[in-house]
Structure 1
Amino acid sequence: MSEEAPRPLMLGGVSVHDLLGRPLVRLARRLVGAFAEEIPLYRRLPEEELDGDITRITEHNLRVISRVFRERRPPTRAELAPVRASAARRAREGVPLDALLAAYQLGVAKVWESLFAHAGPGDLDDVLAANRLILRYSGAVTSAVCAAYVEEREAMRSHEQDAMHATVSALLAGDRKALAGVRLASRYLVVATALGDESAGGAGQMDGRRRLRRFRDAWQRHATGQVLSALDGTGGLVLVPLDADEPGWCRAGELVAAASRAAGVPVWGAAEPAEPDRVPAAAKLAEEVLEVVRSLGRPPGAYRLADVLLEYQLSRPSEALTGLAGLLDPLLGNPDLLRTLKAYLDTGLDRRRTAELLHVHPNTVDYRLRRAVALTGLDPVDPDQLQRIGAALAARRTLNGG
């Protein structure tokens, strides 16, 4: 036995679905006119688009609303399929999501105004029932539009990222054939990046994707041309286009700081300017400098080779590295001596500042320095020996990772 059809909702003695269904085509055109009048973006659309796709999807929505009122139920997934398809098309056309949602909200408001105009004093119960239904319709449509729009934009972004990764890979491989037809900048700031541990903030997979998107977008916002990147959740390579006469290093600090703020995590970056054919060498150097910076425990920020020249050189394979670090081995039995010697060099050979840093008396600093000299034969007062001490400390940092 079939279920009895629900009683029609009535306003002014006429069923609500008839109030919508009879003038549907005329009402759809009136709504599209309101979109063009009240929403700036729709005002700029060509007339053939307004009369075509926009009017068709508006008519479809009015039919769905009419059925929602007649059958007293939310819209079905099948009924929302054309809505999702339309939202995906708008995403591909570059229509902002807020403009799209504004059109749906305006349409619902206009429909409701049109229906209310027929309500009489005895229609309160049906007005309330119709209000609940149109709210359910509005919620379902908003969810469908947002989901379809975001899915399409993500698919477009994924395609763009695949193409970008392919370009970066071709640049790094020096594959001129793969780069045929690709418009490249005359120079790039090649930046190797590392992001702080995202798990420290309890971020889930969704948060990680959002962080990466914000990180990637920040570079583009601060660039005058198309930024190329090959990034994941831990960092990666970014190629920022530079003007022909622009100094390569000057903007690195600003760019890394902006990307860090956008991602909400500490960011380390090592930068090197290069023409397209030098990108492979610049990327290799930037990655090596970044590795040295991270191994030394340097704070987040932008670095270049000049910032770690000695440490970088000492990080290259060499028998001299162990020998340099071994110059300070006699101090290993007394960590206070090694710590004092390091602080003395860090403070520019200032015994009082060294004492303050170590929270000891200046006489204690003098005593420890004399002991260090006696054990190692290296006196920081002697310029030649001072250089050897500095190199030995750098070698120890390199070997010990900090």
Structure 2
Amino acid sequence: MASSSSTSSTNLFVADHPVGVESRVQEVIQLLKSRQSEDPVLLGIWGGGGIGKTTIAKAVYNEIHRHHFEARSFLLNVGEVWKQDNGEVSLQKQLISVIRSSSRRITINTVESGKRILQERLPRWKILLVVDDVNKKDQLGALCIRRKWFGQGSIIIITTRDHDLLRWLQVDHVYTVNAMNDSESLEATTQALIIYFLFLQERFYDVFLSFRGKDTRERLTSHLYTSLQNAGIYVFRDDNEIQPGEKISVYLLEAIRQYRICIVVLYSNYASSNWRMQELEEIMKCRRRWGLVVIPVFYEVDPSEVEHQTGWFGDGFERLISRISMRNDMRRNWKEMLLEIGGIAGFIFPNSRNGNEYIRILVEHVKSRLSQSGPFY
């Protein structure tokens, strides 16, 4: 059933990227604060469809629902629920459920019996109540939304497209939701474009090509990148230079998680870079957690040297750990990570001779993996 009744101190979900909501919420709260007594306050939020009435009501509810109310309820989509089988009684039951004085089961068979219970119990409670998307007087009548039925200190908020309903109800305040101003419209449009761009970006690249430095760029990775692109494979090439000591970008860490395959080019000087090791750590996490396919390319380095940190590869790793402050557990984790990637069946490029043939085989392998359906493991 498309309804909701919040009865706890839990916040309601408002929106992923709300624009202009906070200023409107504060305007509504100022109206509520302007009351001169402890009499119940009725406030209407009025505006056209899709303009943000429910979003504002949820945000106001989140802001004030912890303020010493004895009961609280948010009845969502009242107009839609009303049209469902037994919808009137269902709404009454939701409201009654938050003003029960005992756990005794209450039976409601008709709208009239529900009204009698509400009229008897509502005046005893200080309640925060939001009645969302009301479009008929009958709905207000069935839920006893009249000032005389509510206890001292209660706040009742009604969202509607029908201004006449609010006039009939004699609410204390009407908050009119206007369209966004130019600044808010620009912000909303910008956010929408960013979200759309990220949506496309998540699906645009197939392969993350991880390498660093001049050691491999000219002799291998530029050629590999071009060959993958020519094969119709969308590749993100991570070859930006970075200043010594700079930490890996959170954006790059987030980006790694979007790809289906990651090709890691390992070479003799690879493990001497803190940046490269951080990136590899994130790549291997994605392999363990989400099944990212990791394809190591051992360029002029033996896999066993990577596994056991020996030879020139091991010398580079020792230079790194002597240069930076590193906890013992971090050093152990990195050694285990190198052991793991060194043991993955990858591609060995012993030298630049026959490089074209090695690259052709690697590209065919990547195409084959991408053609597989479902997640990779």
Provide the TM-score with structure 2 as the length reference.
0.23
Q: Which has the larger radius of gyration?
A: 1
Higher RCO by CA contacts (8 Å cutoff, separation 6 or greater): 2
- The structure whose residues are more often helix, as a share, is 1
- The structure whose residues are more often strand, as a share, is 2
Provide the TM-score with structure 1 as the length reference.
0.22
